[in-house]
Chains A and B, each alone.
Chain A
Amino acid sequence: MKALTWHGRHDVRVESIPDPEIVNPRDAILKITSTAICGSDLHLYDGYIPGLRAGDVLGHEFMGEVVEVGAKSTLKKGQRVVVPFTISCGDCFFCKKTQFSCCDNANPAETSDASETLMGHAMGAAFGYAHLTGGYAGGQAEYVRVPFSDVGPIVIPDGIDDDQVLFLSDILPTGWQAAEQADIEEGDTVAVWGCGPVGLFAIQSAFKLGAHRVIAIDHYPRRLQLAKQMGADILDYREVDVLEALKELTGGIGPDAVIDCVGMESHGLAIDNIADTVKQQLMLTTERPHALRQAIIACRKGGKVSIPGVYGGFADKFPLGQMMEKGLTVKSGQTHVQRYTKKLLDLIQKGELDTTFMISHREPLGRAAELYQKWHDEQDTYTKILLKPGMDSKPQVDLVAARQVEPA
């Protein structure tokens, strides 16, 4: 099969590798119909996540048709399913508490040691996201093996487009959890750093969960425009002093909740961020937490900090005193996707959530490698890229035809 594989920093390739097969009884095999490139794939592309090996298949946002099932899978051949990016066993203490991304069993014993040393506890598992989180092959491919297929995948009824439900795999529930973890109360103003797909869904979710007002911060005009389209007030940090602006917009109180949808690779030329960038390039730190620092300083006293943005290790100059003295509540974590899929599918079916507004590109899987570069370099134009393995055959035929008629 064809798959997008990682080979090093800024080196991903579409290659032919063997098809996956059923390994364990609860496995299923999917034929991928749609998959997306995630913002967090850029952390892999940039080489900031430790534990990737050359040849690893990336991709953790995908859906497809069930083509093979293990003896203990509850899926049936032919079903169309969306698969959460987190792999969860459904049986352990954490899964039973619906803390699915903390699953204690899905990360194989062989790949748990590193994260246990690094984080204090072995991390959960995810598709296509380095061996720290299990080293499972991802879904930017024609086929994928889905372990614990009786727990994660959600069956999609007929009549709903792939594009409407694909994001149930990650960014929609991630945006939703980000807003939920902001514990929004009546009258709350929520500030969201980063208007990438997760940020945009966080904005939409915050309104859905009762936010009075959402203020979005970014520097890409098109992304800010999408945020405005979702009803947010927008701040371009190149134009304003964000802290000053947030205070002025909230009558001096500051936002009641702040959401960091940026993560470890903050942009911008603030002095702390320049220092972090240098340190990151020299491998002295993994984090560039400028957005989070700013969010914590901006948050009102007694306010709430929600961190869906991905971080990988120890951060420098973390505003710990500010967090403590202002009495902030911090909630974070990888998304417990399985907790939200049913509810969110329901909202999609009722037409209460718009899940397609940020899709800018639908492309064949064969172009994945160059699209990673576009996704990395042209973030204003490429707001969300979908890959459709089914589109591959057709353009190829056309190309061959075109070449044949071309005069030598």
Chain B
Amino acid sequence: MANHTDVTEEVEEAVVRQNEEAVDDARQHRPTSPASRRVADVEEDDRVRIHDVEELHADEEPSRARRSSAHGNNGNGNGKLIGLGLTLATAGAAAFFFAKARQADELPDGPLLSDAPDHVLRGKALKRARNQEEGRALVGRTVTIGKPAQELYAFWRKFERFPEFMDNVREIRRLDETRSEWLIEAPMGATVSVKTRIVEDVPGKTIAWVSEPDSQIEHEGRVEFAPAPPGRGTYVRLLLRYTPPAGEVGRLLAKVLQREPNVQARRDLRRFKQLMETGEVPVNASPSGRKSESPTERRI
């Protein structure tokens, strides 16, 4: 015990010494600009604090003596009290500043100010979102793709090519001009069918779809194509809305779609961008670079 304390003291002393050396070093090179003078003042403060520390140690001397003459931990009492006091003071100060900051951060009533889409709203603002619906998860993601909006729209409008970049969509069957059936991969090799109907179709701008009532899951999606700054192509925004469905199949599906809907949207859009810009979807085919080894990670 005594040995241990000695070592600790030595280390502390060494640190203090090094700090002092560092301060001395810094003072030797003290620059003269006003800003640097501020820095130098701070150094002065540091020095004072270092001496405080030493004085603190000096104060502890008697308690140490007591500890060695008497027994056990009695002598630690003062130190413990000081520690407790410091902790309480710190906690109190933190609580005070947190409360103050919270007050200043309180969202006032009235319309939202931010020029941002709903899916990035948070906290209270999210509850007041313009298009928020109770019990439905909204997921959104935007990427820039270096191609004209018309070309991207045309590719997306043929839902049949979704499996090339949406990795949980196995197949899309076209039923008629606006309706299609999606076969979505579910856990354990099962597939689930979702029938969708296009409800909004503005060439070069927007495609929106909803799931038909007899689908096994409820799903709503929207893709928007907006011009990026000149020469940079198109902002493509994908918005998805789900209702976690009931039932066993529903539960599994919720797992598929809800597990990380954000991640799904992010990855699907990234693959869409890759496919449109480079003509292929990159895969690392890890570890040795063979088709059988890609895709590298199953998400279900």
Q: Does A17 interact with chain B (Cβ within 8 Å)?
A: yes
Q: Does A148 interact with chain B (Cβ within 8 Å)?
A: yes
Q: Does A193 interact with chain B (Cβ within 8 Å)?
A: no
Question: Which residues does chain B contribute within 8 Å of A17, judged by CB atoms?
Answer: 287-288
Contact A55 to B284, CB < 8 A, known contacts A93-B144, A108-B296: no
Task: Give A89 to B297 CA distance when docked, in angstroms.
Answer: 22
A113–B266 CB distance below 8 A: yes
B271–A109 CB distance below 8 A: yes
Q: Closest B residue to A111 by CB, please name it.
A: B284
Q: Does B273 interact with chain A (Cβ within 8 Å)?
A: yes
A108–B282 CB distance below 8 A: yes
The number of A-B residue pairs with CB atoms under 8 Å apart is 129
Question: Which residues does chain B contribute within 8 Å of A304, judged by CB atoms?
Answer: none
A57–B271 CB distance below 8 A: no
Q: Closest A residue to B291 by CB, please name it.
A: A23
| A70 CB, min distance to chain B CBs, angstroms | 9
10 A-B residue pairings within 8 Å (CB atoms): A23-B291, A26-B279, A53-B286, A56-B287, A57-B287, A57-B288, A93-B232, A105-B274, A111-B284, A136-B289
Q: Does B46 interact with chain A (Cβ within 8 Å)?
A: no
Question: Which residues does chain B contribute within 8 Å of A116, judged by CB atoms?
Answer: 266
Interface residues of A in 14-33 (CB under 8 A from B): 17-21, 23-26
Q: Does A169 interact with chain B (Cβ within 8 Å)?
A: no
A3–B232 CB distance below 8 A: no
Interface size class of B (residues with CB under 8 A): 35 or more
A105–B285 CB distance below 8 A: no
Chain A binding surface SS class: loop
Task: Give A131 to B287 CA distance when docked, in angstroms.
Answer: 10
B289–A135 CB distance below 8 A: no
| B38 CB, min distance to chain A CBs, angstroms | 9
Which residue of B277, B284, B289 is within 8 Å of A144 (Cβ)?
B289
Q: Does A271 interact with chain B (Cβ within 8 Å)?
A: yes
Q: Does B44 interact with chain A (Cβ within 8 Å)?
A: no
- Bitwise interface map of A from 315 to 342 toward B, beta carbon under 8 Å scored 1, else 0: 0000001000100000000000000000
Contact A92 to B271, CB < 8 A, known contacts A147-B282, A325-B39: no
Question: Which residues does chain A contribute within 8 Å of B290, judged by CB atoms?
Answer: 18-21, 23
- Bitwise interface map of A from 88 to 107 toward B, beta carbon under 8 Å scored 1, else 0: 01111100100000001111
Interface residues of B in 137-154 (CB under 8 A from A): 144, 146
Q: Does B88 interact with chain A (Cβ within 8 Å)?
A: no
Task: Give A53 to B144 CA distance when docked, in angstroms.
Answer: 31
Q: Indicate the member of B22, B277, B285 with the most A CB atoms within 10 Å.
A: B285
B146–A131 CB distance below 8 A: no
Interface residues of B in 261-300 (CB under 8 A from A): 263, 266-268, 270-271, 273-274, 277-291, 294-297, 299
Q: Does B18 interact with chain A (Cβ within 8 Å)?
A: yes
Which residue of A24, A104, A131, A325 is within 8 Å of B286 (Cβ)?
A131
